């Protein structure tokens, strides 16, 4: 088996401040790549890793900032103002449901609560039959889910991972004869601090920030933060690149415009 060395601390990311200091790039520049991936969260990071591992030249563009694990304080207020989309201000049209979304390298996986419930076979087969998505049938798709579960250390909570508050809920369920089961989580040797939504400073949460993104980078993928894609470019009826705007996340200053020419665009 061949091994690829991964940096011990952090993901190699080109930030707005790096672009501003690079005289070779300027205010408008073009990059060429095989695959450009828009977004670095759960979906984008896996695509980037698999493509880079397969030998493709991969470029990942993330509109949010790069916030390495070393900066997490476990204070939710700090995290909300820095890497939550709209500082947790996203709501539906009637303003009675809040949508929590990460705005950073690694996306919502960085601030998620680690609960990882898979769709059952009946759900997958329902998607396949109802919508004609045959590749999402349980037979075809389950092996991919199992592979990701292995990569992300997904496991059913053990007894020591179920806290006193959850035990009260369990007692209530049993008294009222409701069914219950332990959650599945993507955590490796959880430190049990209870601050998942504020980011994991110990890198025990298997977010994209510490799994698929550094793995993709180890295979040569390039990652830009602070880079918002504003237009998909098409040629001969196919997506062939993107235009993006690079912005300083602290000042809001416009740093540069980027064009990417690519054989494949993944949104």
pLDDT, position 87: 87
Mean pLDDT of 23-34: 93
How far is it, in rounded angstroms, from Cα 265 to Cα 109? 22
Residue 73 has pLDDT above 80, yes or no: yes
Residue with the two structure tokens 């070779």: 24
Single out the residue of 4, 17, 116, 72 nearest to residue 209, CA to CA: 72
- Asked whether residue 89 carries a pLDDT value surpassing 90, the answer given is no
Which tokens hold the place of 127? 């998607």
State how far the Cα of 51 lies from the Cα of 56, in Å rounded to an integer: 5
1 pLDDT exceeds 60?
no
Residue 201 per-residue DSSP state: T
pLDDT recorded at residue 8: 62
For range 146-167, the mean pLDDT: 93
Lowest mean pLDDT among 41-45, 112-116, 225-229: 112-116
- Rounded mean pLDDT, 93-101: 90
Query: Which of 1-10, 25-34, 81-90, 150-159 is predicted with the least confidence, judged by mean pLDDT?
Result: 1-10
- Nearest CA to 247 out of 223, 229, 227 is that of 227
SS3 content of the chain, % helix, strand, coil (to 5): 35, 25, 40
| 103 pLDDT higher than 70 | yes
CA neighbor of 166 nearest in space, from 96, 207, 99, 115: 115
Confirm if 237 and 7 have CB atoms less than 8 A apart. no
The more confidently predicted of residues 102 and 1 is 102
Per-chain mean pLDDT for the chain = 93
- Say if CB 224 and CB 13 are below 8 A apart: yes
- Residue 165: count other Cβ atoms within 10 Å of its Cβ: 9
Strand partners, 262: 33
Exposed, middle or buried, 199 (CB in 10 Å: 0-12/13-18/19+)?
Answer: buried
Asked if the model's pLDDT at residue 10 lies above 80, the reply is no
pLDDT at 145 over 60: yes
Task: Find tokens 């997506």 and name the residue.
Answer: 239
Predicted local confidence at residue 88, as pLDDT: 86
> Which residue in 120, 155, 118, 154 sits closest to 138, CA to CA?
120
Give mean pLDDT, residues 169-184.
96
Under DSSP, is residue 142 helix (H, G, I), strand (E, B) or coil?
helix
Give the C-alpha separation, 9 to 107, whole Å.
18
Structure tokens at 120: 């059952």
Residue 5 has pLDDT above 80, yes or no: no
Strand order in the sheet with 238-247: 222-224, 58-61, 28-38, 254-266, 238-247, 227-235
Domain residues of the chain, as ranges?
A: 11-113+197-267, 156-184
- Report residue 59 as tokens: 């470029």
Percent of the chain residues topping a pLDDT of 70: 97
In the structure encoding, which two tokens stand for residue 42, read together?
């759960």
Q: In this model, does residue 71 exceed pLDDT 60?
A: yes
Is residue 4 pLDDT above 90, yes or no? no
Average pLDDT over residues 24-38: 95
Share of residues in the chain with pLDDT > 90 (%): 81
- In whole angstroms, how far apart are CA 111 and each of 67, 79, 104, 202? 11, 8, 10, 14
* Average pLDDT of the segment spanning 106-118: 93
What's the rounded Cα separation, in Å, for the pair 141 and 147? 10
Q: Over 60: is that where the pLDDT of 119 sits?
A: yes
pLDDT at 37: 98
Q: Which CATH superfamily is domain 11-113+197-267 in?
A: FAD/NAD(P)-binding domain (3.50.50.60)
């Amino acid at each position: 088996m061949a091994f690829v060395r991964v940096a011990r601390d952090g993901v190699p990311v080109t930030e707005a401040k790096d672009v501003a200091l690079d005289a070779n790039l300027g205010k408008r520049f073009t990059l060429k790549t095989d695959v450009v991936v828009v977004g670095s969260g759960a979906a984008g990071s896996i695509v980037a890793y698999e493509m880079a591992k397969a030998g493709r030249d991969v470029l990942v563009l993330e509109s949010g900032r790069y916030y390495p694990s070393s900066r997490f304080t476990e204070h939710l207020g700090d995290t909300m103002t820095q890497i939550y989309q709209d500082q947790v201000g996203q709501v539906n049209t009637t303003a009675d449901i809040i949508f929590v979304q990460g705005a950073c390298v690694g996306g919502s996986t960085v601030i998620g609560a680690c609960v990882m419930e898979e769709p059952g076979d009946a759900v997958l087969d329902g998607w396949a039959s109802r919508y004609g998505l045959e590749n999402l049938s349980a037979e075809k798709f389950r092996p991919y889910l199992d592979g990701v579960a292995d990569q992300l250390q997904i496991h059913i909570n053990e007894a020591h991972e179920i806290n006193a508050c959850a035990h009260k809920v369990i007692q209530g369920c049993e008294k009222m004869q409701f069914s219950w089961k332990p959650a599945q989580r993507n955590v490796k040797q959880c430190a049990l601090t209870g601050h998942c939504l504020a980011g994991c400073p110990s890198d025990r949460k298997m977010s994209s920030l510490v799994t698929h993104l550094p793995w993709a980078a180890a295979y040569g993928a390039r990652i830009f933060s602070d880079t918002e894609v504003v237009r998909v470019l098409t040629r001969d009826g196919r997506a062939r690149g993107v235009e993006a705007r690079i912005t300083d996340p602290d000042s809001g200053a416009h740093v540069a415009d980027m064009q990417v020419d690519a054989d494949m665009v993944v949104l």
